[in-house]
Amino acid sequence: MKTKFLALALITGLFLNSCSSSDDPTPTPVVTPATGEITGPITKDITYAYGNYTLKGIVKINEGVTVTFEAGSVITIDKATGDNALVVLKGGKLITKGTADKPVVFTEKSKLPGSWGGIIMYGDAPVNVAGGKSSSTSEDGNNISYGGTNANHNGGSLVYTRVEYAGSKLADGSKENNGFTFYSVGSGTTLDHLVSYKGADDGFEFFGGTVSMTNAISYGNYDDAFDWQDGWQGGANTNWFAYQTGKGNYGMEIEASANDNAYGPKVSNITLRREAGNVPESNDNQVDAFQFKREGNGEYSNIVIDGYGNYTTTGTPSTTYKGSAVSILDAATNDHQVKTSKIKILNVKITNTTNILPIGATPEILVAFPTGTFTQSDAATGASLSAGAWSTVDGVNLLK
15 lies in a domain?
no
89 lies in a domain?
yes
- What is the CB neighbour count within 10 angstroms for residue 161? 25
Closest CA relative to residue 158, chosen from 69, 233, 61: 69
Q: Long-range contacts for 37-45 (Cβ within 8 Å, ≥24 apart)?
A: 38/75, 40/87, 42/67
The DSSP element (H or E) to which 12 belongs, if any, is: helix 2-18
221 lies in a domain?
yes
Number of folded domains that form the chain: 1
322 lies in a domain?
yes
271 lies in a domain?
yes
Please tell me the distance from the alpha carbon of residue 105 to that of residue 107, in angstroms, as a whole number.
6
332 lies in a domain?
yes
Do residues 185 and 94 make contact, with C-beta atoms less than 8 angstroms apart?
no
Range of the domain at 277: 37-393
16 lies in a domain?
no
Tens-binned pLDDT, residue by residue, of the chain (400 aa): 434 433 433 344 433 344 444 456 677 778 899 999 999 899 999 999 999 999 999 999 999 999 999 999 999 999 999 999 999 999 999 999 999 999 999 999 999 999 999 999 999 999 999 999 999 999 899 999 999 999 999 999 999 999 999 999 898 777 889 999 999 999 999 999 999 999 999 999 999 999 999 999 999 999 999 999 999 999 999 999 999 998 778 899 999 999 999 999 999 999 999 998 777 776 666 789 999 999 999 999 999 999 998 888 877 888 888 889 999 999 999 999 999 999 999 999 999 999 999 999 999 999 999 999 999 999 999 999 999 999 999 999 999 8
Q: DSSP string covering 347-387, please?
A: EEEEES-SB-S-EESSTT----PPTTSEEE-TT--------
CATH number of the domain within which 240 lies: 2.160.20
85 lies in a domain?
yes
